[in-house]
């Protein structure tokens, strides 16, 4: 009897784990791991000597980043996922809430990506970049935020053109997040948890369930 109770208790605990890792974060419109990388349509640098190219890394490809940049992106994701609403992360989003006349909880992140600089050997300080990129995650655009030195800041001049192009200026390039009015987004939130944990939890649940059935039959 004690063995049956122990197995059932373990079954309940694993089921609870599988539910928790599968739960979607309210701070995201959808899973950033499933988004395509925004495309750099054009960019300009204030320095005539700069020969840099810009590369966009989506959250799903974050393992391609260097150790420091990968950690930065993971930290950025964690801050968003763990926030009650996005205005908890920094006060800069409160002005957007006021301008749009929406609730703080209506703000969601539709995309999370990193912009990296490559191929520039002329100098370390590149100066400001004016960037135009296209993305499938601009519906209901409310603002663009950037993760710098462990904190989120608002990209003041970010705007959407023709409904498909995001234009902004950045002095430094790092991890960015597109913030939207969630009430205007047609996308519902799928899983934002770790897919590996989800698979393991579900597999463990199935194994334990099978064990209970076999054990019960033997006892009968």
Q: Residues 61-78: pLDDT tens digits?
A: 999 998 999 999 999 999
Output the pLDDT for position 40. 96
When pLDDT is averaged across residues 33-55 and rounded to a whole number, the result is: 87
pLDDT band at 123 (very low <50, low <70, confident <90, very high): low
**Cross-strand bridge partners of residue 58:** 113
Tally the C-alpha atoms within 13 A of residue 40's C-alpha that lie toward its C-beta: 18
Q: Where are the alpha helices (DSSP H) in the chain?
A: 2-22, 67-81, 94-100, 195-219
Closest CA to 177 of 133, 115, 112, 131: 112
Q: Which residue has the higher pLDDT, 172 or 2?
A: 172
Output the pLDDT for position 60. 95
The CA-to-CA distance between both ends of the chain, in Å, stands at 12
Q: Residues 2-40: pLDDT tens digits?
A: 554 455 445 444 444 444 334 445 899 888 888 889 999
For the chain, the average pLDDT equals: 79
pTM for this entry? 0.74
Output the pLDDT for position 24. 44
Q: Residues 102-115: pLDDT tens digits?
A: 999 999 999 999 99
Output the pLDDT for position 34. 87
When pLDDT is averaged across residues 95-100 and rounded to a whole number, the result is: 94
**Dihedrals phi, psi of 101, to nearest 5 degrees:** 55, 50
Element (H or E) spanning 190, and its range? none
Is residue 155 over pLDDT 70?
Answer: yes
Distances (CA, A) of 135 to 27, 110, 140: 19, 10, 13
Is residue 58 over pLDDT 50?
Answer: yes
């Amino acid at each position: 009897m004690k063995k049956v109770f122990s197995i059932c208790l373990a079954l309940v605990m694993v089921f609870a784990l599988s539910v928790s890792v599968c739960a979607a974060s309210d701070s995201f419109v959808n899973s950033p791991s499933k988004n395509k990388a925004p495309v750099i349509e054009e960019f300009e640098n204030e320095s005539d000597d700069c020969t840099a190219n810009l590369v966009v890394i989506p959250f799903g490809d974050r393992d391609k980043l260097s150790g420091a940049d990968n950690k930065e992106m993971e930290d950025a994701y964690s801050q968003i996922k763990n926030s009650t609403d996005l205005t908890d992360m920094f006060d800069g989003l409160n002005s957007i809430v006021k301008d749009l006349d929406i609730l703080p909880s209506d703000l969601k992140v539709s995309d999370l990506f990193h912009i990296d600089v490559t191929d520039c050997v002329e100098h370390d300080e590149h100066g400001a970049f004016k960037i135009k990129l296209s993305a499938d995650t601009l519906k209901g655009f409310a603002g663009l935020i950037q993760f710098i030195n462990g904190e989120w800041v608002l990209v003041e001049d970010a705007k959407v053109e023709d409904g498909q192009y995001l234009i902004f200026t950045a002095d430094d390039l790092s991890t960015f997040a597109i913030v939207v009015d969630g009430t205007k987004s047609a996308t519902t939130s799928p899983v934002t948890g770790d897919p590996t944990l989800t698979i393991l939890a579900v597999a463990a649940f199935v194994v334990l369930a099978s064990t209970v059935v076999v054990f019960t039959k033997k006892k009968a």
